[in-house]
């Protein structure tokens, strides 16, 4: 009987002694970090390899029937990247520091102001010095919006009419812009479909026969600065508001 008890005790001790080694082996490499693929917030899925060299599968992404076409395209890009064993990280665009700290100066928010200029009601007047757009109204007032205007070397002035209006416009960068940006190491697409990531934003008002537009932006933190290649950019919510208030044929004065 004593011999049986001694053997049982030795077996128990061996099991207990083996547990730390097993635990250390099990967690020799941390498990992969998997963050919920919520397209309404920044996220990154980390892809790791298991000790045997096999890639750890990324979590399945469930499509929501309420997703927009740009969101579905973004999901498909992520799925294609995670299917490639040579890619270890698949990510959506990570906000830049200026985007994370984005807070617009209150003076660039839409507001009603006095207007005593020479232009009649219904005219759009753009002040590229102070970066304001005025929609002249009756009664000596105007609706004022903050805008982003042409950076040094891209300033311009003139009078045109709105010749076209588009919702969620496509973007086709001019050839000279593609060449200019390539020299800086930035490759622009020949065509980009309309959507939240499109630099033209939610709406566009085309000015005469020029390449200039009043349009939204995917970089709202730039409003109030001289930042564009000549176009007049607005926050998406502001350009939508302006879009609903003006018609094709509206006079636009850029000063």
Query: In the chain, what are the domain boundaries?
Result: 44-94, 106-254
Domain 106-254 has CATH 3.50.30.30: no
For residue 199, how many other CB atoms are within 10 A of its CB? 17
Which residue is associated with the tokens 């730390």? 20
pLDDT along the chain (255 residues), means of 10: 49 50 50 46 38 41 52 58 42 49 87 96 98 97 98 95 96 83 82 89 96 95 95 97 98 98
231: annotated active-site residue = yes
> What is this structure's pTM?
0.60
- In the sheet with 203-207, reading across from the earlier edge strand, the strands are 111-114, 141-146, 132-136, 124-127, 251-254, 158-167, 203-207, 213-215, 232-233
- Can you give the pLDDT at residue 35? 45
Q: What pLDDT does 175 receive?
A: 82
CB of 212 closer than 8 Å to CB of 232: yes
The catalytically annotated residue of 119, 160, 191, 215 is: 215
Q: Which tokens is 76 given?
A: 């498909």
Catalytic residue of the set 119, 160, 191, 231? 231
Q: What gap in Å lies between CA 160 and CA 207, rounded to an integer?
A: 6
Question: Does residue 191 carry a catalytic annotation?
Answer: no
Q: Return the pLDDT at 244.
A: 97
Q: Which of 144, 156, 162 is nearest to 208 (CA)?
A: 162
3-state secondary structure of 69: helix
Tell me what pLDDT residue 93 has: 47
């Amino acid at each position: 009987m004593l011999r049986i008890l001694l053997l049982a005790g030795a077996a128990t001790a061996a099991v207990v002694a083996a547990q730390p080694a097993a635990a250390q082996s099990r967690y020799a490499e941390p498990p992969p970090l998997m963050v919920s693929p919520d397209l309404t917030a920044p996220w990154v899925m980390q892809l790791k390899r298991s000790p045997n060299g096999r890639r750890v599968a990324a979590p399945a992404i469930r499509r929501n029937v309420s997703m927009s076409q740009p969101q579905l395209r973004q999901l498909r890009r992520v799925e294609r990247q995670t299917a490639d064993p040579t890619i270890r990280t698949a990510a959506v665009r990570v906000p830049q520091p200026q985007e994370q700290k984005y807070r617009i100066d209150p003076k660039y928010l839409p507001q009603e102001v006095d207007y005593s200029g020479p232009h009649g009601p219904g005219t759009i007047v753009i002040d590229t010095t102070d970066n304001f757009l005025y929609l002249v109204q009756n009664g000596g007032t105007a609706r004022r919006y903050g805008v982003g205007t042409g950076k040094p070397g891209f300033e311009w002035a003139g009078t045109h009419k709105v010749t076209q209006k588009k919702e969620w416009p496509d973007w086709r960068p001019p050839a000279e812009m593609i060449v200019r940006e390539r020299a800086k190491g930035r490759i622009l697409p020949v065509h980009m479909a309309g959507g939240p990531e499109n630099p033209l934003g939610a709406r566009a008002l085309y000015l005469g026969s020029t390449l200039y537009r009043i349009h939204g932006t995917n970089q709202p933190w730039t409003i109030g600065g001289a930042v564009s290649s000549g176009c007049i950019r607005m926050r998406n919510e502001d350009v939508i508001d302006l879009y609903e208030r003006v018609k094709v044929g509206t006079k636009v004065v850029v000063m």
